[in-house]
Structure formats: C-alpha cells, structure tokens
Amino acid sequence: MLKETYTVVRDLPRVREIIAVLVRHGLGNLVQRLGLNKGVERAGDLLHLPGNHEVEALEPAVRVRRALEELGPTFIKFGQVLATRSDLFPPEWIAEFARLQNNVPSTPFAELLPELTDILGCDPHAIFVDLDPQPIGSASIAQVHRARLQDGSEVILKMRRPGIVPKIEADLRILRQIAVLMEFEFADARRYQPAKIADEFAKSLRRELNLSSEARNMERFSRNFAGHDGIVIPKIHWEYTSERLNVQTYVGGFAGNELEAAAAAGLDCRVLAARGADAVLKMVLIDGYFHADPHPGNVKYLEGNQIAFLDFGMVGRLPHPRRDQIVDLLAALAQRDEHGIRDVLLEWAGDVVVDEEKLAADIADFMFNYENLPLKDISFGTMLNEVTQISREHELSLPPDLTLLFKALVTLEGLGRQLDPDFQMVPHLTPFVKQVLIARYSPDSLLKKGKGSLLDALQLVSGLPRDIGKLIRQARRGQLRVDLDLKRLDHFGAQINRSANRLTMGIVTAALIVGSSIVLTIKGGPTLFGMHVLGLLGFLLATFNAVWLVMAIWVSGKRE
C-alpha cells in the first residue's frame, strides 16, 4: 500500500497533465467516470470549464486519437497497438488509431554527444569516422546517424534518446492504473481484459527500449535465414552495442516506397513480392518468430532482387500450440471451410459463453461472399479483417499475440500488391500450410506427442493418491478452504449498504408521519397555529427526511 501511494505521489504532475489533455479534447466524462480527478487539485475546476463546442462536435474516435497524439510517445505507441485490435474496436476507431504517427523532431547532435561518449567510454570520433551529425531517422525512442568504422565499413548508430526511460515508465504506470479502473468501472470492458492489454504493451515497449534486445532479435533472424540468399539482415557490431546504442551495418538500396526507382534499376518487383511473402510466412509458420511490422519503411530492396528487413524492435512470437491454431485457421480460409474457422474461433473463446448457432450462421454468410470468387479477386487481408469483425460481434477477444500476427499478414499483402498488382497471398500460403500439416502428422511428431501425453498421464496418476491424502488431511483439520474471486464485491456491498440506509430512512419517515397524525388527533397540550406542537414537529422532520431521501436518490442516479 505504501509503495502504491508513493507511486501515485511521484506521478502526480504527469497525472495532472493527462487529465488536462483529456478534458481539453472533450473527454471529461471519462475522467470523472474513472475517478482520475479525485485527489488532484484543480481537476474539478478543469472539469467544469465551458466546453469547446468545436471539439465536442468531433466524433469520439477523433477526439481520442488527438488526445493520444498530444500525450506523447507512450500513448501514441499504445494507440498504434490498439489499431491492430479490430476484434475490439469498430472500423472507424481502427482507422483513427492507424493515423497515429511518431512525428518527433530530432534531438540536436550536440545534446546526444555527451550521452554517446558516456556509452562508449571514449570520444566517439576515435571509433567512428565521418560521424554524420544529421540524423537519417528520428523516432520517439531512438535516433539514427550514419558513420564509418576505422576499416571503412559503413554503419548506422541507433541511439536511445537521453532521459526517455523515466518518462515512459511513468506513463506505463499511469496507463496500467487507467486500465485497472476501466475494468472496475465498465462492465463491458472487463471481458476484453484491458489490464492484460496494458501489461502486454508495457512488456513490448520495455523490450523496444532495450536496443541490445533488438540486436539479439536481429541475430536470431540472421540464423533463421542463413543460406537464404534473397533475404538480408544487417550485421550487429556487438563491441559497440549496448542497451542504449545499437551499431549495425548500413544497408543501402531502395526504400520500400521507392518502387519506380527500384524498377528503373532493373529489379523485378514480382520476384521481390514473392520473396517477401515467402520470408514472412516462413517466419510465422516455420520459425514461430516474425517481424511484426513489415511496412515499406522497414524494408529495402537491393541488387539481385534481395530484400533487407530493418528495425526489429517489434517482433512476434508464436509457440507451437498457437502455430497449430494459426495453420488450422489459414488452411480453413484458403479452403473456404466454415467449420474449420468456427472450431478455431471457439477454441480461442475459452470459457466465454458463445451462441454457436449464430456464430456458425455468421461464418456461413461470410464464406458465401467468397463462393465461386476467382482467386485473383480474393484479398486475404480483407478475409482476416472480416474474421476479426465476426469475433468482435460475438464478443470474442483474440489472444494478444494474434493481433500482431494479423497486422503483419495484412501489411504484408498490402506491400506485395504495391510491388505486384496481381499478387495473391493464397498461392504462397498453401505450400507452407501443407508443410506444417505434413510435419504435424509425421510418425516422429505423433510419437513425440504420444510420449509426452503418456508421461503427463502417468505423472497425474502417480500424484493422485498424494493429492487425495492431502485433501482428506485438510478436511479433518478444518483447513479445507474454497476461495471465490468475486469482482466488484466491495462495490456491491456499498450498494447494499446505501440501499439499507435509504430503506431505514424511509421506514423512519413513514413512522413519523403515522405517529404525528395520531398525535394531532389528541386534544390538549401545547398548540401552534391550532395544531399540536409535537405532531407539527413530527411532520416537519418527516418532510426533511423525505426531501433528503429524494435528493440522495437523484444525486446517486446522476452520478451513475
């Protein structure tokens, strides 16, 4: 408790800033609903300022997107992650989140130089020749400069911005608290586990902050593509690389959006599209470790129709069980098998209650739209987006690791069609799906799975007498306990308490009215305006109680 209080006090200036931004963009109701204004001075005054009618006229999605942009890098990146969650948000929200960009001005090299000297432990110019003070790239977390080593090798220095970590850590703590409050206050949001989404985002962003982690990602991809001449991964110079600095080989060529220049230089765009698709599908289905953001800015085209992948700060991981589910879904989509799609979605649903008949009907309608449609007219990305829309309509939240995968596949198809207007994902997908299915049902794989299942069963059976004995001993000692985790039980108790108080006040008011009426019929005693004083006093108290009760109910209803 003391630690939480210290955290709140430490982040209070940033909380005030976040409240001001949200209110300025017409999101004051959200601030009140989440209780962010409580305990923050001047927050109440902010909430009661006259509204900006121009802002209030905007759609909620636009206001949220503008607020995230103003709140800075952490919230911009969080919005970019939400842009992948088409299972949670309708299309207009996804479109707004997709507009979020890190338009961050570069830091002057004079301010970076002391930090770079501290990282290397010596003057950077003693290691790097022609260190260019003008950045070739500038993002919220890092800035990139070109240089040459003493042997003439061209490299780039990707350097973390000084002082960025404390700011991002503060934002992550606040974002986590907002997510917890959303689970507490909004019943509809609870099933989507906002706190879990915030935790996954924090884990991903902290990995991105560690530039040596990105370097390790690059080395793993290099091993996975060893022997693939068409794919290039920049080499890491580990002697200079650390948590704050990533030094890697400079890759020339043409950027992913310089298609005309690449074609003019003799590169075959059709070959590039095919190689890019095969590379990403290998990452996903074979390696289980994929580049999560293969957009044109992270791709370069080289001589000999080679493709270089850049910026491995955001990667996705797929364990074997998840890979099997993905293969089943992709195979069902490729074969237009509605039963296969339904089975995978139900497996992802877990314990969530689903109307299976309606789900099957919606999937059947979805597949009917693609019946007898030529392969060249099918957009695989559109199919994936429609599947996630069906999931959202049935309140099925996709596992977080799948959202990155779907985004990567949709981005990949878009990139492929930029290179080749006739590009089709399904023909590239089918051989990989077949390869995985053949490997899954090979004798060696079945034998390995059977052996693992047998060992699990034997372990369960061998431990059963011990577990039963422990259960019986606890029952004899009166130590047998059943823990129930009932969410919002404290809130429910408070509601019961308020209801009981109001009921008691109502009974007292009714008793005063009845008693006062009886007293007024008694002759004698002190009178006022021709009425018995005690009876008159009783009616006044009853009136006061009734007014208080009505006001309390009205205020409570307005607050809720």
**Side chain identity at residue 80, one-letter code:** Q
Whole-number Å distance between alpha carbons of 180 and 488: 12
Q: How many CB atoms lie within 10 A of CB 39?
A: 11
Whole-number Å distance between alpha carbons of 117 and 256: 33
Instruction: State both tokens at 383.
Output: 């199919």
Place of tokens 């008159």: 536
Instruction: State both tokens at 352.
Output: 């969530």
Q: Are 302 and 292 in contact (CB under 8 A)?
A: no
Give the start-end residues of each E strand in 473-530: 527-528
Place of tokens 């996954």: 200
What does 25-75 look like in DSSP terms, one character per residue?
A: TT-HHHHHHHTTTTT-TTHHHHHTSPP-HHHHTS-HHHHHHHHHHHH-HHH
The sign of the CA dihedral 206, 210, 211, 216 is negative
DSSP 130: S
Query: Rounded to 5 degrees, what are φ and ψ at 402?
Result: -80, -25
Instruction: State both tokens at 465.
Output: 């007498």
* Cross-strand partners of 248: 156, 236
Q: Are 87 and 392 in contact (CB under 8 A)?
A: yes
Instruction: State both tokens at 503.
Output: 């009921």
Q: Are 154 and 135 in contact (CB under 8 A)?
A: no
Instruction: State both tokens at 299.
Output: 């791709």
Tens digit of pLDDT per residue, the chain (560 long)?
444 444 555 677 888 888 888 888 888 777 777 766 554 544 444 444 455 567 777 888 888 888 888 888 888 888 877 776 766 777 788 888 877 765 567 888 988 999 999 999 999 999 998 899 999 888 778 889 999 999 999 999 999 988 888 888 988 988 888 888 887 777 767 766 788 888 888 888 888 889 999 999 999 999 999 988 889 999 999 999 999 999 999 998 898 888 889 889 999 999 998 998 899 889 988 888 888 877 777 889 999 999 999 988 878 888 888 888 888 887 887 777 888 888 888 887 766 777 788 888 888 888 887 776 665 666 777 777 787 788 777 877 677 667 777 777 777 788 888 888 888 877 888 888 888 778 777 777 667 767 766 777 777 777 777 778 777 877 777 776 766 555 555 555 666 767 777 777 778 777 777 777 776 666 666 776 667 667 777 777 778 777 777 777 766 655 55
How many residues comprise the chain?
Answer: 560
Whole-number Å distance between alpha carbons of 298 and 291: 10
Whole-number Å distance between alpha carbons of 317 and 292: 9
**Side chain identity at residue 121, one-letter code:** G
Whole-number Å distance between alpha carbons of 188 and 175: 19
Taking each helix axis from N to C end, the angle separating 194-209 and 73-82, rounded to the nearest 10 degrees, works out to 120
Strands 306-309 and 231-232, by their bridges, are parallel
Who's near 326: CB < 8 A, 6+ residues apart? 284, 285, 318, 402, 405
Q: Which residues are catalytically annotated?
A: 293
Q: Residue 184: is it exposed, middle or buried by C-beta count within 10 angstroms (0-12/13-18/19+)?
A: middle
This prediction has a pTM of: 0.67
Report the run of H or E that residue 102 belongs to, with start and end. none
